[in-house]
Amino acid sequence: MDLPVDEWKSYLLEKWSLLPISVRLAISTAKTLSDVFLLSSSLLQPEDEMFLKRLSRGYLVGKDPGAPLFYREEGNKKFQEKDYAGAAVLYSKGVSHSKPNTEDISLCYANRSAALFHLGQYETCLKDIIKAQTHGYPERLQPKIMLRKAECLVTMGRLQEASQTISDLESNFTAKPALADSPFQSLQRNLHHLKMKIQEKKNLTETFPAALAKAFEDMDLREENEQISSASSSVTLCTDPLKGRYLIATKDILPGELLVKEAAFVSVLNPGEVQPLHQALDSKWSTRVTNGDLYCHQCLKHTLATVPCDGCSYAKYCSQECMQQAWELYHRIECSLGGLLLTLGVFCHIALRLTLLARFEDAGEIIRKLCDETSHKDIYLPESKNMVKTLNYGQGENEENGKIVQTPIPGCDVNGKYENNYYAVFNLLPHTENHSPEHKFLCALSVSALCRQLEAASLQALTTNLESSKLKAAVTPEFCSDLDIWGVAMLRHMLQLQCNAQAITTIQHTGSKENIITDSRQVRLATGIFPVVSLLNHSCSPNTSVSFISNVATIRASQQIGKGQEILHCYGPHESRMGVAERQQKLRSQYFFDCNCPACQTEAHRVAAGPRWEAFCCNSCRAPMQGDDVLSCGNRSCTESMSRDHLVSRLQNLQQQVDMAQKLLRNGKLEPAIRRLLGCRHDAESFLSAEHTMVGEIEDDLAQAYAALGDWQKSATHLQRSLQVVEVRHGPCSVEMGHELFKLAQIFFSGFAISEALNTIEKAEKVLLVHYGPWHDDIQELQKMKSCLLDLPPIPVGPSM
């Protein structure tokens, strides 16, 4: 997903292996990125481009005229099944394939407004009705959506407008009764019904409370750092020739304190599993829903009612504003390149977008630097072998044209300020010398192919007399005149991304409405660049926790951090998810350093018994088993032993049994699911440690099954066992623990176990506050439960809830 698709990767690796040794040597030993780029791109042949184009054409990224009708029909099916959310997404897919100002698009919007109405999303419903009308909704159908509009307005309490809509509709009727092809009588009945509703509402003096404003004030940094934008004044930026840049605490920091709140400089939505057409099994139009259908491609907000780009079917947004913003900033250039960008992968896409965004900054200095890169081979970038110069540059003064230029820390401006801007991104380390030559070749050729496509697109736009002024403006001359310079910049970004890309995640709540307890799962949504977050060093047991709202990252202290201590976060390999050997290997191969964090130090000294959540235990005495190929009981007075293969295959069998039980559970076959799960637990107890992840999973499923049966006590008992497993693995203050406590609170709440519920809510709140802050949905939900239990007046909710 991050790198190009396998076909292109293996094509290029083969090309590399067939190059003369002298050429490979030249690329391997090239001193600057610009040499790597220029040498590699001179090797890109027309047949290579043809091959890449063939791969790109495999993706459906344009508007397909047959698709809107198909998706509308599929949506109608979902609508009949009362799956309104499912229907809305399919209508959205129909919208994305429709050309603007066509009957297709207006019908899709009108259908979607019906689904949104049933989902209670009245504001969005109204917007869709307006969109249907502006795109030419057929006059014969008008009464239908006008009625829906009136109904929406009534429900929202906007009675004046509702009355106006109804009287408009009525006067149109009397003027041209032939308009309505729906039976006049039924329409009259509907009108009458609505008028009654309005009367009723008018009689109620009470007005609707304004929607609970999700004030983000509390989410803001208490005091912004003067030196680093988006960071709190509780931290400061330091630099060290060996460690590079890092953040330390300037005072004692309490758990939960917000330290960084930064919007992504760029983010690219991970497309999910988009299958090229030749691999798609069924039809070319898939009803499968991916992240690309549910999240805004600009701000990453979740929405069922996306607004598509006018020119392609893959770029979708939460609003007209986001669409326009994306168009101005980058999409007018990316729009026609959808298939190519899917083929080349997310890193290449981000690299392109970064350079597109660079045009909007005072990029003079950057361009000068890039020109130096391409023309004078003797000028090195900070990470290059010219260490002396690097250190000078990094620490103090740098003589340039006889002028003393003060650049205290790489990425900071002349005043020493570090900001979320292209300059800071440009200064992130690409680790050029650590990447393998074939990887650099792969990246360079991919970037070079992209540059040629951009050039071709711009020539086409400049020479042909296009009627669309949008397209004519699509390619700015300043961009194509210096393509090589931007090619080098893009290559640099691609290499930077390996160490600096930040996965943007979201918590998806799975489980249908019938499930009382929701399961939450962290999913990767997008890849982004956050220059300030990138200042943090890694630890396998970090003292901060990161979470995201749309494309904004927040970093909070997850524990007390003393004045002068370093602020650390985890690059992925967390001690609760991986053993020390695997972590070290991953950090070395991806990030090029040997982790020396406290977790790695203590674990390395411990005899490799493995963590408790993966441990096998003795069949006869339940003591942990130890050893490599053959495991023997850790209890000296017990002689039990067992081959690892045997235990592993037992574990695999058990996993299959659990999978089957989960399937039963999903299909609502609760009793058989419970019987099977109890059998699994019995089996697990005979060879797995009580804190084994599998045991936790079984207990969690049992809790869910009993909750669905309404047996709160049993459900709670099993969930508490699952909680113990989570605590051993992730720690008592982890976000995972918070989610598990949240579930337990829901169970006690539903079972009216008031004191247990209050107690658990408090614990869950305490843990989740540290990770998410006070305005997160889960915290709000907990507070609602609490006030309900304490019999306080309920929190006012907006009409849409």
Ligand X SMILES: *[C@@H]1O[C@H](CO)[C@@H](O)[C@H](O)[C@H]1NC(C)=O
**Least Å from the CB of residue 63 to Zn ion:** 9
Task: State which residue, 36 or 633, has the beta carbon closest to Zn ion.
Answer: 633
Cα–Cα separations (whole angstroms), residue 682 to 166, 451, 532, 663, 676: 66, 61, 50, 19, 10
What does the per-residue mask of binding to ligand X show for 149-188, with x meaning CB under 6 A?
Answer: ----------------x--xx--x----------------
**Least Å from the CB of residue 91 to ligand X:** 8
- 73's tokens: 């029909």
Cα–Cα separations (whole angstroms), residue 56 to 37, 68, 77, 494: 22, 23, 32, 20
Which of ligand X, Zn ion, none is residue 335 near (CB under 5 to 8 Å by kind)? Zn ion
Q: Which stretch binds Zn ion (CB under 5 A): 314-322, 490-498, 507-515, 754-762?
A: 314-322
243 is a contact residue toward ligand X (CB under 6 A): yes
Which of Zn ion, ligand X, none is residue 522 near (CB under 5 to 8 Å by kind)? none
The residues, ordered by sequence, that sit 6+ positions from 776 with a Cβ below 8 Å of its Cβ are 547, 768
- 506's tokens: 């979201």
- Closest Cα partner for 527 from 367, 341, 258? 341
Q: Which of 1, 219, 280, 638 binds Zn ion (CB under 5 A)?
A: 638
Q: Please report, as residue ranges, which positions from 27 to 86 form the binding site for ligand X (by CB under 6 A).
A: 76, 79
Are the CB atoms for 81 and 295 separated by under 8 Å? Answer: no
**Least Å from the CB of residue 730 to ligand X:** 13
**Least Å from the CB of residue 418 to ligand X:** 17
633 is a contact residue toward Zn ion (CB under 5 A): yes
Q: Which stretch binds Zn ion (CB under 5 A): 103-111, 313-321, 505-513, 675-683?
A: 313-321
d(CA 219, CA 216): 5
**Least Å from the CB of residue 720 to ligand X:** 24
Q: Please report, as residue ranges, which positions from 626 to 665 form the binding site for ligand X (by CB under 6 A).
A: 635, 637-638
Strands 552-557 and 258-263: antiparallel
Q: Please report, as residue ranges, which positions from 509 to 548 form the binding site for ligand X (by CB under 6 A).
A: 537, 539, 541, 543
Task: State which residue, 200 or 645, has the beta carbon closest to ligand X.
Answer: 200
Task: State which residue, 622 or 669, has the beta carbon closest to Zn ion.
Answer: 622
Which of ligand X, Zn ion, none is residue 298 near (CB under 5 to 8 Å by kind)? Zn ion
Q: Which amino acid is at 467?
A: E
Q: Which of 76, 250, 632, 635 binds Zn ion (CB under 5 A)?
A: 635
d(CA 229, CA 533): 11
Task: State which residue, 299 or 688, has the beta carbon closest to Zn ion.
Answer: 299
Residue number, nearest CB to ligand X: 543
Are the CB atoms for 308 and 68 separated by under 8 Å? Answer: no
Q: Please report, as residue ranges, which positions from 581 to 600 form the binding site for Zn ion (by CB under 5 A).
A: 595, 597, 600
623 is a contact residue toward ligand X (CB under 6 A): yes
d(CA 776, CA 765): 11
- 245's tokens: 């840049």
- 740's tokens: 């598990």
User: Phi/psi zone of residue 616: left (φ > 0), alpha (ψ -120 to 50 degrees), beta?
Assistant: beta
Task: State which residue, 27 or 146, has the beta carbon closest to ligand X.
Answer: 146
CA atoms within 13 A on the CB side of 256: 11
Are the CB atoms for 123 and 152 separated by under 8 Å? Answer: no
Q: Could you give the residue ranges of the DSSP H alpha helices within 327-433?
A: 332-334, 338-344, 346-358, 364-375, 387-395, 422-426
Task: State which residue, 334 or 697, has the beta carbon closest to Zn ion.
Answer: 334
Which of ligand X, Zn ion, none is residue 447 near (CB under 5 to 8 Å by kind)? none
Which of ligand X, Zn ion, none is residue 662 near (CB under 5 to 8 Å by kind)? none
Are the CB atoms for 720 and 737 separated by under 8 Å? Answer: no
DSSP string, 68-83: HHHHHHHHHHHHHTT-
Are the CB atoms for 330 and 353 separated by under 8 Å? Answer: yes
205 is a contact residue toward ligand X (CB under 6 A): no
322 is a contact residue toward Zn ion (CB under 5 A): yes
Task: State which residue, 406 or 596, has the beta carbon closest to ligand X.
Answer: 596
Number of residues that bind ligand X (CB under 6 A): 33
Task: State which residue, 172 or 522, has the beta carbon closest to ligand X.
Answer: 172
Task: State which residue, 69 or 329, has the beta carbon closest to ligand X.
Answer: 69
Angle value at C-alpha 194, between 190 and 197, nearest 5 degrees = 145
What does the per-residue mask of binding to Zn ion show for 640-669, with x meaning CB under 5 A?
Answer: x-----------------------------
- 598's tokens: 């406290």
264 is a contact residue toward Zn ion (CB under 5 A): no
Cα–Cα separations (whole angstroms), residue 657 to 305, 677, 702, 705: 39, 8, 14, 16
Count of C-beta atoms within a 10 Å radius of residue 376: 11
* E strand segments, 475-604: 502-510, 519-529, 537-538, 544-549, 552-557, 568-569
Q: Please report, as residue ranges, which positions from 281 to 310 form the binding site for Zn ion (by CB under 5 A).
A: 296, 298-299, 301, 309
Q: Which of 60, 568, 658, 747 binds ligand X (CB under 6 A)?
A: 568
549 is a contact residue toward Zn ion (CB under 5 A): no
> What is the number of residues in the chain?
801
Are the CB atoms for 257 and 276 separated by under 8 Å? Answer: no
Task: State which residue, 179 or 678, has the beta carbon closest to ligand X.
Answer: 179
Interface residue list for ligand X (CB under 6 A): 76, 79, 107, 111, 114, 141-142, 146, 165, 168-169, 172, 196, 199-200, 203, 243-244, 537, 539, 541, 543, 565-566, 568, 593, 598, 620-621, 623, 635, 637-638
Interface residue list for Zn ion (CB under 5 A): 296, 298-299, 301, 309, 311-312, 315, 318, 322, 335, 540, 595, 597, 600, 618, 620-621, 623, 633, 635, 638, 640
